[in-house]
Amino acid sequence: MSDTPGDETRIGVDQWVEQSEDRREKYTGWTAPARRMFDQVSPGWRLALFLLAAAAYPFLVRGSDVRIGITVLLLAMVALGLNVVVGWAGLLDLGYVAFYGFGAYFYAIVASDQLPAHWPTWAAIPVIVATTALLGALLSLPSRRLVGDYLAIMTLFFAQIFLELVRNFERLPFVPDDLDLTGGPNGITGVEPWELFGFEINSQDLFGGVLPNFSRQYYLALIFLALLIMGLHNLNESRTGRAWRALREDTLAAEHMTIPVNRMKLLAFAVGAGIAGLTGAMFAAVQIGVFPTSFTLFFLITMYAAVILGGSGSIPGVVLGAIAIAYVPELLRDPGKAGWLFYIGLGALLYVMVKRWDHVAVTVGSVFVFGLIVRFFSGRIWDESTMGEANDAFMSRLMDDWVLILDAQRDVITNYVFVLAIVGVMLVVVARAWWRIAALVPTLYFAILVWENKLAFEPSITRQLMFGAVLVVMMAVRPQGLLGTRRVEIT
């Protein structure tokens, strides 16, 4: 658009408004082609492609790695349920994990030696889903007049009550001493697998014990996830889905547009809880047992992370978020893969800081030269500073020739370098233009040094650290989540 008055490229207010979406967020940056392609694929085909890729997964990985896939699918399912409550209806429900736990315990109790009642799966599942949905509706009753933080506190309390009830069931009044339904802190073991239409999900081993068949569990979870996605997609495009979103946007206005707000809130809670109950029951069968520790706030936070990272309100977003949240930590177990992630993350961060590819190249080159110089002098002064063995991974071997790999005093020195790196980060944040690059060079070098000398050898610490860093960077770059749409609160 030209600034010259009378220029025919000038546009009127209406056109300006028309183009506002494009200016705002659509198709900018290097992800643009991918996003454009994604938009051209209809939801049905997207689902089909996703299912195809997901169905191929068990063939591509080693047997026990399929477990990770099951974890991912279960997280995706339960996060989709949470998305109904949080992403669509806009109700900040922190008690959601209780419904998941309720479904799991319900199934464990009715399909094990606990009662003993060995309900067939086809009977247990509908009952569990209905009961959990009812519980969700009931728990929403006292909180239906609350919104935002108040609702969050109230529901958080429900989650805690559930956990305490499960842990201390036998000590409750009116419960006979010999009736220990939930198994207290020890949980319930020996939960039976699902068996639907004569198709058993786990296989029996030679001695009649249950042997988990990961592939079958995986495909069962995939089928349920696919059904869930289709159902929720239809629901989102219906009067019910619109009513939920309207009540998220403006409850008062929704009420005046003939939407029964309290009933819709109750319905959102019930639908979300029902999905959580279903997933919980599947989780119990997959685990062959349930334990109170699975249903703590940590899992609640994981679910929220999946929803928020993927893009609250978007079905493909939430599924992608669940994949990222459940899969990335597994990826980081392997120091080699973690190294890749570290350097990719560092590269992304570098690009975000300087925003120009030529500057990125200059910086990377400078870091390399800086490393060579440091190594040269350091080797002269104290030769043990270059004698260490790098972690044997591809990326680490690349660093071998120019990054100091210490042999002695490793911990002490990396701690000091870590402090230097932090100072460097502060300088980078305040510095502008070329000064920023000047500060970036030693900072990056120190970061690499710390990584190669310490973090690469301690995957358990690194895992959490890296994961946190990925989330922080991700949310800073795309606050609306991977596939979410930016929401405007006040204008």
Judged by the rule CB under 8 A, the positions of this chain that interact with other proteins are 13-14, 17-18, 20-21, 24, 231, 234-235, 237-243, 245-246, 249-250, 252-261, 267, 271, 485, 487-489, 491
Measured CA to CA, the distance from residue 27 to residue 313 in angstroms comes to 20
* For the chain, the helix, strand and coil percentages under 3-state DSSP, each to the nearest 5: 70, 5, 25
Candidates 408, 446, 82, 447; CA nearest to 269 is: 82
Place of tokens 């028309």: 18
Q: Please say which residue, 235 or 465, places its beta carbon nearer to other proteins.
A: 235
Measured CA to CA, the distance from residue 438 to residue 449 in angstroms comes to 18
Q: Please say which residue, 274 or 442, places its beta carbon nearer to other proteins.
A: 274
Q: How far is the CB of 95 from other proteins (least distance, A)?
A: 22
Q: Please say which residue, 250 or 384, places its beta carbon nearer to other proteins.
A: 250
Q: Please say which residue, 1 or 490, places its beta carbon nearer to other proteins.
A: 490
Q: Please say which residue, 235 or 471, places its beta carbon nearer to other proteins.
A: 235
Exposed e or buried b for every residue in 339-359, given b needs 16+ CB within 10 A?
Answer: bebbbeebeebbeebbeeeeb
Q: Please say which residue, 1 or 488, places its beta carbon nearer to other proteins.
A: 488
Instruction: Give the distance, in angstroms, between the CA of residue 470 and the centroid of all CA atoms in the same chain.
Output: 11
Q: How far is the CB of 151 from other proteins (least distance, A)?
A: 20
Long-range contacts of 216-221 (CB under 8 A, 24+ apart): 217/70, 217/193, 217/285, 217/286, 218/57, 218/58, 218/66, 218/69, 218/70, 218/73, 219/55, 219/58, 220/194, 220/196, 220/282, 221/70, 221/73, 221/74, 221/77, 221/282, 221/286
Cβ count near 300 (within 10 Å): 21
Q: How far is the CB of 235 from other proteins (least distance, A)?
A: 5
The CA dihedral of 100, 105, 110, 111, to the nearest 10 degrees, is: 90
Q: Please say which residue, 103 or 484, places its beta carbon nearer to other proteins.
A: 484
Q: Please say which residue, 17 or 61, places its beta carbon nearer to other proteins.
A: 17
The CA dihedral of 463, 225, 280, 206, to the nearest 10 degrees, is: -90
Q: How far is the CB of 368 from other proteins (least distance, A)?
A: 46
Q: Please say which residue, 227 or 477, places its beta carbon nearer to other proteins.
A: 227
Q: Please say which residue, 16 or 122, places its beta carbon nearer to other proteins.
A: 16
Q: How far is the CB of 228 from other proteins (least distance, A)?
A: 10
* 3-state secondary structure at position 195: strand
Measured CA to CA, the distance from residue 436 to residue 280 in angstroms comes to 50
Measured CA to CA, the distance from residue 379 to residue 385 in angstroms comes to 6
Q: Please say which residue, 233 or 410, places its beta carbon nearer to other proteins.
A: 233
Q: How far is the CB of 231 from other proteins (least distance, A)?
A: 4
Q: How far is the CB of 199 from other proteins (least distance, A)?
A: 24
Q: How far is the CB of 227 from other proteins (least distance, A)?
A: 10
Q: Please say which residue, 168 or 262, places its beta carbon nearer to other proteins.
A: 262
Q: How far is the CB of 49 from other proteins (least distance, A)?
A: 21
Q: How far is the CB of 54 from other proteins (least distance, A)?
A: 22
Exposed e or buried b for every residue in 302-315, given b needs 16+ CB within 10 A?
Answer: bbbbbbbbbbbbbb
Q: How far is the CB of 13 from other proteins (least distance, A)?
A: 6
Candidates 291, 310, 120, 257; CA nearest to 201 is: 120
Exposed e or buried b for every residue in 399-437, given b needs 16+ CB within 10 A?
Answer: beebbbbbeeeeeebbeebbebbeebeebbeeeeeeebb
Measured CA to CA, the distance from residue 284 to residue 102 in angstroms comes to 10
DSSP run (H or E) holding 474: helix 459-477
Q: How far is the CB of 232 from other proteins (least distance, A)?
A: 8
